[in-house]
Amino acid sequence: MNLQFEPIPVEPTYRKVAGALIDHIIAGRLQAGDQLPPELELARQFGVNRSTVREALRELDSAGLLGRRRGSKRMVVMRPGTGHVGAGVRRALVLHDVTYLDVWEALMILEPALAANAAARRRAPDIERLRAAAQSVIDADGSPRTVLHVVQFFRVLAEASDNPALVLAQEPLLQLLEPSLSAMIGQLPQARTRIVDAQRRLIEAVAARDTESAQTWMAKHIRDFKRGFELAGINMRHTLAQSGRAAAPAATRP
């Protein structure tokens, strides 16, 4: 019998402590705003060194699960923002050799349905936020920050859909879209005009609760991106890693 067994991986102790804390957060035993015991008390309860606890807390802090209130040394449980969640998925997509075409196809599936949901569920403040986001694109007037405002419009529209799962699913795609969209807008001056017009049409549809028009105009909008990428000479079949752009941290939101 030539059966071979794989060695059992040894996990650092601080990762085990971090995993135990994550389990408590996911189970709801620790909720957003709850304060953790001091490091020494955590070390006593887990039966580990204080340095081990500190490393575990540092890892969960980086993941957006823990943080500190101003003026306090004690860690509190946080709810990770969409930026934290999106960044992690974005890195995974890059490592899985996702192409610009893959991102575009995912947007074609997600965004039209999301726009229809926004039209059906939007509230009055959502329309004002959409108008403000669209105006920011106009005011940017082709500056390097234009792309940040364009992407922000998508985020505001997603939030109007009142579906946190869709908002979280959208974020990594938007982070991957930013670099290619920036390159496209920089090379095609007419791109910004077409984006502004599409945003205006989408706001009209969402304000009128016209789900069909919202879905149709978003589909046109995303198709227009692909045409713009092709005109700008962006190879849609290149992986995000090949471009060297997507691996960079996402730009700061406006």
Q: pLDDT averaged over the chain?
A: 88
Q: Which CATH architecture has domain 82-243?
A: Up-down Bundle (1.20)
Does the pLDDT of residue 120 top 60, yes or no? yes
**How much is the pLDDT for 143?**
84
Structure tokens at 170: 């959208």
Q: Indicate the length of the chain as a whole number.
A: 254
Q: Where are the domains of the chain?
A: 13-77, 82-243
Among 100, 83, 102, 146, residue whose Cα is nearest residue 246: 100
Nearest to 215 by CA among 124, 121, 111, 129: 111
Query: Which of 4, 2, 22 lies closest to 14 in space, CA to CA?
Result: 22
Q: Which long-range contacts (CB under 8 A, 24 or more apart) does 193-197 make?
A: 194/224, 194/228, 195/137, 195/150, 195/221, 195/224, 196/134, 196/137, 196/138
Mean local confidence (pLDDT), 14-30:
92
What integer pLDDT is reported at residue 244 of this predicted model? Answer: 54
Q: Considering the domain 13-77 in this protein, what is its CATH number?
A: 1.10.10.10
The tokens for 96 are 């899985």
Across the range 84-104, mean pLDDT stands at 81
> Is 82-243 the same fold as 13-77?
no
Residue with token string 């991106």? 225
Mind listing the pLDDT tens digit for each residue in 51-84?
Answer: 999 999 999 998 889 998 888 888 999 988 777 7
Q: pTM, whole model, 2 decimals?
A: 0.76
Amino acid identity, residue 191?
A
Residues 248 and 246: their CA atoms lie apart, in Å, by 5
Confidence (pLDDT) at 250? 44
Query: Does 213 score more than 70 pLDDT?
Result: yes
The pLDDT > 90 percentage for the chain reads 59
Give CA–CA dist 210/112, Å, rounded: 13
Q: Which of 195, 172, 199, 188 minimizes the C-alpha distance to 229?
A: 188
Q: Report the candidate in 191, 170, 139, 166 with the shortest Cα–Cα distance to residue 250.
A: 170
Q: Which pLDDT tens digit goes with each residue over 40-53? A: 999 999 999 999 99
Tell me the percentage of the chain whose pLDDT exceeds 70.
Answer: 94
For the stretch 237-252, pLDDT in tens is 888 777 654 444 444 4
